[in-house]
Amino acid sequence: MKEYRVKLAYLRVSSRKVRLVADLVRGMNAEAARSALHFSTKRASSPIAKLLDSAVANAKTQGAAVEKLVIKEIRVDDGPILKRFRPMSRGRAFPIEKRTSHISIVLFEKEEKAAPKEKEEGEKKVKKPATKTTRAKKVAQSAK
């Protein structure tokens, strides 16, 4: 099971807002995730879609089947904060924090499960009867 990793650093969107979109596609098939991102109205969906396309292209060049790719992990971390100031009345300055985020996606190729073996006629599973040992049964057995 091979993994394919991609990273995007210094995205100028708050990580709190990006996580909303990341939670939407976590654990999805790559094609289904691309479709979900296409119809999302969030601003962070476009950079995540580009990053996902990059991950799929990397996997494709390494010989992976695109239809089997699944998002194993999508992580959104805080990046550095750009600190700016806005002038306010009476000579004061109001601080503004422009937040950034780092995104990393891990794709893996999901393997098909093998079909269960058919049981032959001689291999029937026998269920053992449940035995419940109570105090009364123990006393009766010890009296014999």
Tell me the CATH number at 45.
3.90.470.10
Tell me if 130 is assigned to some domain.
no
Per-residue pLDDT at 49? 97
- Domain range for 85: 3-109
Tell me if 114 is assigned to some domain.
no
- Cα 87 to Cα 69, 83, 90, 98: the distances in Å are 50, 13, 9, 16
Place of tokens 């750009």: 82
Per-residue pLDDT at 121? 62
Dihedral pair phi/psi, residue 96, rounded to 5°: -125, 130
Per-residue pLDDT at 58? 95
Predicted TM-score of the model (pTM): 0.74
Exposure letters 38-62 (e unless 16+ CB within 10 A, then b): eebeeebbebbbebbeebbeebeee
Tell me if 122 is assigned to some domain.
no
Distance CA 44, CA 36 (A): 13
Tell me if 92 is assigned to some domain.
yes
Instruction: Tell me how many domains the chain contains.
Output: 1
| Mean pLDDT of successive 10-residue stretches along the chain, which has 144 residues | 93 97 95 96 96 95 92 97 96 97 95 67 64 67 72
Of 9, 49, 18, nearest to 31 by C-alpha is 49
Tell me if 23 is assigned to some domain.
yes
Tell me if 82 is assigned to some domain.
yes
Tell me if 131 is assigned to some domain.
no
